[in-house]
Chain A
């Protein structure tokens, strides 16, 4: 496969350096990459390059630790990739919805977020089940709890779910469109709020791209503080998810303890920058605030305390047979399915698929935490294991924070006619940002691929053959982002 352009994570390239091949060759290379070379689809989008419409694919090759880019000119239609490599299915629906480019042969061509001005949200031809015993349950967009909006349709036979169709788009507010024309005073805030619970991860991606384009080296202390913030984000969210799972199976001690402990970790992030979600902490060139020795000592104390209480609270849950019985074998996604539909992150690792940006692109000695079951319990266990790892990272960073500055001046501009790309393993899974600039160095196009984008269909798969009453815990075990998907 000579054609791909190989990039390191965080590298940038001139727009003209992106290889452009014939559609047949393009398709063959992508299908081969995904089905035979063990690559995964990190991004697949349509964009204007040198005033021609192109499809651009970014595959992640974990064996080479590289991102592989390839593009092809496209008209109003092309033969769909989904039929040969299902991992493209959601991307192709997105491209069709946004650019009216038809992936011929795609068997499920419906809007994924109803973003067109004339689209009527939720109005589409749903799959239905015929027959006397069949019935349909529709839930949302406004759900019973305090969560984001989405519409779920269950096709059931009695209590059993035959098929779940998920319609999203209610949170769509045009983040990518608002980003074009930047960088400006809004850019970083828009990036941070694409999915508000992953602000640190998103800011890291954008800043890495801006730093590469400006040839800015981030001081070691800032790198460490960024990692610290990223791990605190992961910890807080994993704790929240485990607590919410406990709550959903009515195991209230762990649920209430975790709710509080999650808050303690959010407050540690707030200690870094004043905001519990880490807003405005990561900036191009470094971080906005340093952490003084007293702050380090305070955090160290809080981390130790939080860790003790956390594992005590989790112990209660994972030792309770009634909880385990409810979680085990519920909502199974097999490794084969996970791989085929392109799942990432916690959910993929819980199905035994060892993929993780921390190893696949970044450092050699990182071992992704995997569990084999593919069920709700496995998704809970992966989080528990990752908590151990993240807490270790946090403790180590606090003990050995490098000295020095926390900012290198970084211009607020970007290089002209350049494509920058960076991925980070956010707490849900891989988060990818791709930035393309025009000849004046203004942002022409930003593509954000949230881990939820890869995983929503996984939730639908997990529900097949389950009791409808299993939906809440299956949903919590994925805990996907609506706003990160809808953008």
Chain B
């Protein structure tokens, strides 16, 4: 007992200050992209592994739901800002063009009132590379401690308010995903986390993939990234429940 208290003292209090302080992001962090006026769109298109280029109001934009943030197009006139607030409640809001980021207007789908202080999440991993779920798990560690905001991963879908899906939804996970969703009491919310879940990501063209998630379930929150940095995901969840 005494040893453990000593250990606790030695290891210190290490929960991050984010939020409200800004998160610690790595030097080479690729946040929300911004397409510069001089950007060579054709060249950028040609080297993009996930065909992430799209159009927004007639202008070229990057669909951050497809982008895996490999940063390759930085050489073609795309600036990767340090903006980590990237999640959106509609697919179109993920399109990043030349304009700088403006915080998304929250669509109230009832979640703030019902889950503002307690959000129980059932995670379902469906055909990705496992890094997305690893970095969701990290929010449980004491470095991020999402429990302080009442957010918790639960074992049973029956106890869950939201389902957080990672991966492009492999054909082999389709049934299990549907069943998990059906087992949740309604109303419930669906979160697609990571490029795979949002758009199929790098696996979008695979015949073994049945997704992305919004082909199967009504998605309420899209979180870009490959995988989304824990700060991106935590910010997304907190904004979603009206805590940011």
Contact = CB atoms under 8 A, between A and B. Distances in A.
B161 to A, nearest CB: 16
A256 B141 contact: yes
A194 B206 CA distance: 14
Interface stretch (B56-64, B101-109, B118-126): B118-126
B141 A260 contact: yes
B172 A121 contact: yes
Contacts of B26: 267, 270-271, 274-276
B134 A197 contact: yes
Given A253-B4, A274-B30, A149 B71 contact: no
Contact of A483 (B46, B48, B129): B129
Contacts of A477: none
Interface stretch (B5-13, B85-93, B214-222): B5-13
A146 B136 contact: yes
Nearest to A313: B11
Which of A115, A173, A194, A275: most chain B CB closer than 10 A? A173
Contact of B143 (A189, A192, A253, A260): A260
Contact of B127 (A115, A171, A186): A171
A178 B172 contact: no
Contacts of A276: 26, 135, 227, 229
Nearest to B169: A173
Contact of A309 (B8, B11, B135, B170): B11
Contacts of A149: 124-126, 173, 176
Given A197-B130, A274-B30, A279-B70, A170 B209 contact: no
A194 B203 CA distance: 11
Interface string B153-167: 101100000000001
Interface string A286-317: 00010000010000000000000100110010
A96 interface: no
B202 A189 contact: yes
Contacts of B209: 173-174
Given A196-B227, A263-B141, A276-B135, A178 B205 contact: yes
A263 B140 CA distance: 11
Contacts of A219: none
A324 to B, nearest CB: 15
A83 B211 CA distance: 40
Nearest to A308: B10
A482 B127 CA distance: 9
B176 A146 contact: no
Contacts of A131: none
A173 B208 contact: yes
B226 interface: yes
A173 B130 contact: no
Given A145-B155, A274-B26, A173 B206 contact: yes
B99 to A, nearest CB: 24
A387 interface: no
Interface string B165-208: 00110111101100010000000000000000000001101111
B172 A170 contact: yes
Given A256-B141, A279-B226, A196 B153 contact: no
Contacts of A186: 49-50, 202
Contacts of A289: 28
B18 interface: no
A190 to B, nearest CB: 6
Interface string B22-53: 00101111100000000000000011111000
Contact of B206 (A144, A177, A266, A481): A177
Interface string A233-264: 00000000000000000000100110110111
B113 interface: no
B142 A256 contact: yes
A189 B133 contact: no
B125 A174 contact: no
Given A196-B129, A260-B14, A142 B172 contact: no
Nearest to B177: A142
Contacts of A467: none
B208 A196 contact: no
A194 B7 contact: no
A172 interface: yes
Contacts of B68: 189, 279
B70 to A, nearest CB: 5
B70 A189 contact: yes
B49 A185 contact: yes
B81 interface: no
Contacts of B48: 185
A33 B230 CA distance: 48
B49 A173 contact: no
A275 B28 CA distance: 8
Which of B131, B133, B156: most chain A CB closer than 10 A? B131
Contact of B172 (A172, A189, A193, A274): A172
Interface string A152-180: 00000000000000000111111101100
A144 B229 CA distance: 23
A408 B35 CA distance: 29
Contact of B130 (A185, A196, A271, A295): A196
Interface of B: 3-4, 7-8, 10-11, 14, 24, 26-30, 46-50, 68-72, 123-138, 140-144, 153, 155-156, 167-168, 170-173, 175-176, 180, 202-203, 205-209, 226-227, 229-230
**8 closest Cβ pairs, A-B complex:** A274-B28, A196-B129, A196-B131, A259-B141, A144-B155, A270-B26, A193-B129, A174-B208
